[in-house]
Structure 1
């Protein structure tokens, strides 16, 4: 999501080239990322590899004429054409509803997606930032495309999906891919309380500051650092390895700002956290919550 802004174009292209070298086959973007520039960079960099990769993009979280983009049928169709032009592709392998749109009847949004699938413009429907009940509503709409993949926020600090979504996905199978594996960078172990470093994802970014930049999260990350040390890992390695070992996680979205960051992530997911380490992580998190009343939904 930072290609073309925080990550310069040349480095973005090097990241994609390195990802291809290391066997990455799925590339995720969105029409809202850097105002469409991310899609252009991804499309150009993957042009020669198009037949061996999947390209996923999203609609619904941007703004059009100063208003929320939403998921009206007209906007879904128009945005699909715009994304295909920027990506330089005929088909979007997965097209996501980026966020829920309460102002648009679901039947209309799903109908537009069904039309795009029927015409070959879209392969599968994905959903991002939707509640389990909203996804189930899509799954049970007669004649509508069934969501094939869901993007959810999940990391050592934010584990809300365990309350409802994980059980839902077990009962109603859907590929689960998680984003923010490093909590915006807080789980790299390179940040300290105070003013966010210039150039970081937290720099002048109110969304990420409000999400993660808090004293409690710094304390929690410090507790996990002790687990990482005991496991012979860095905090970054522990963060990725823990996710890779979760049975309810099918894939992990990484958002590297450099080739080195990409290599760190791909190396880290091969590490294994010991059973004792995983248990210690759960104990620390339960103490942080202050309750084990996870049955409250």
Structure 2
């Protein structure tokens, strides 16, 4: 049962209590690439010591190397596997140069491949990594239902989906009496807040746990990057067109400079402001940390535990309203 896991996968219909900080998830996207296997295992061990027991990976991360590292760690100590929630994903990789997709055949194959790399009997949370518009969602749900019936996965979730797409899946799941998606992983941080528009209201209404990724905007909110400077070698932005296009823009640096001013006046680091704001953001049930080192992990955990002064949050929210401009949203 999903409720038996050491990390809750569903949000209450009333949402997370305002005074309760969001839970933390350990992301492993760079395990085996920017982060060596040795360093990755040190991060995993320290995360467990700090109480971070939900570990997130994907078949697309470093061609499956991340899954192998996570699985090896989960099996490294007696009883450790039972303390962890291991999540992986399908649908974002490429096969023979083409998108992997979410056909029934591919989802079933990919799950077996992930189980093999992880060296585990069951995946706690199996995500649909991104929408596959070429495959009817009914076909994908057929695959998930089979995986649930065969106890190869314990729960399923979605990543990078719109609210209407998830509602469609919920309705179809209800009709076939299969479990609904338990969790959604979405992009959200103090710079990019589109989830505020309708996602959080939707997730609260349907009891869907929301975990958010890119809390530091790929590192832009770490305080290490400045406008006009060269991209640091080995950083998340190094040779990464997706992240460069998303964050390394003049508009984003304008926002970072404004937030830096607020952080300076509050006598906290920009990184601390970004994490603390997110940890108490309404609707955020958990935050996916993506540390490259043990030190970065410890900084993130500590920053998420610190309360943010109400007046600082108010200034940030007022700033966000200016970023939105004067356009009126279509729904009221």
Question: Does residue 1:219 correspond to 2:254, yes or no?
Answer: yes
Q: Can you list the C-alpha shifts for 1:110-152, whole angstroms capped at 9, x where unaligned?
A: 0110110011101111100000000000000111431100001
CA RMSD of aligned residues (A): 1.2
User: 1:149 maps to which residue?
Assistant: 183
Q: Per the alignment, in what secondary structure is the counterpart of residue 253 of structure 1? A: strand
User: 1:127 maps to which residue?
Assistant: 158
Deviation at residue 292 of structure 1 after TM alignment = 6.0
Alignment of 1:64-75 (within 5 A): 64-75=95-106
User: More deviation in 187-196 or 83-92?
Assistant: 187-196
User: When the two structures are superposed, what TM-score results if normalisation uses the length of structure 1?
Assistant: 0.97
From 288, 309, 316, the equivalent of 1:281 is 316
Q: Per the alignment, in what secondary structure is the counterpart of residue 146 of structure 1? A: coil
Q: Partners of 2:266 and 2:324 in 1: how far apart?
A: 23
Runs of 5+ in structure 2 lacking a partner? Answer: 1-28
User: 1:13 maps to which residue?
Assistant: 41
Deviation at residue 294 of structure 1 after TM alignment = 3.8
User: 2:22 maps to which residue?
Assistant: none
Question: Does residue 1:37 correspond to 2:72, yes or no?
Answer: no
User: When the two structures are superposed, what TM-score results if normalisation uses the length of structure 2?
Assistant: 0.87
Alignment of 1:1-297 (within 5 A): 1-47=29-75, 48=77, 49-141=80-172, 142-143=175-176, 144-194=178-228, 195-291=230-326, 293-295=328-330
Q: Per the alignment, in what secondary structure is the counterpart of residue 202 of structure 1? A: coil
Deviation at residue 65 of structure 1 after TM alignment = 1.8
Q: Partners of 1:184 and 1:5 in 2: how far apart?
A: 15
Q: Partners of 2:47 and 2:57 in 1: how far apart?
A: 15
User: More deviation in 238-247 or 258-267?
Assistant: 238-247
Q: Per the alignment, in what secondary structure is the counterpart of residue 256 of structure 1? A: coil
Q: Partners of 2:264 and 2:313 in 1: how far apart?
A: 13
Number of aligned positions between the proteins: 297
Q: Partners of 2:71 and 2:204 in 1: how far apart?
A: 34
Q: Partners of 1:145 and 1:112 in 2: how far apart?
A: 13
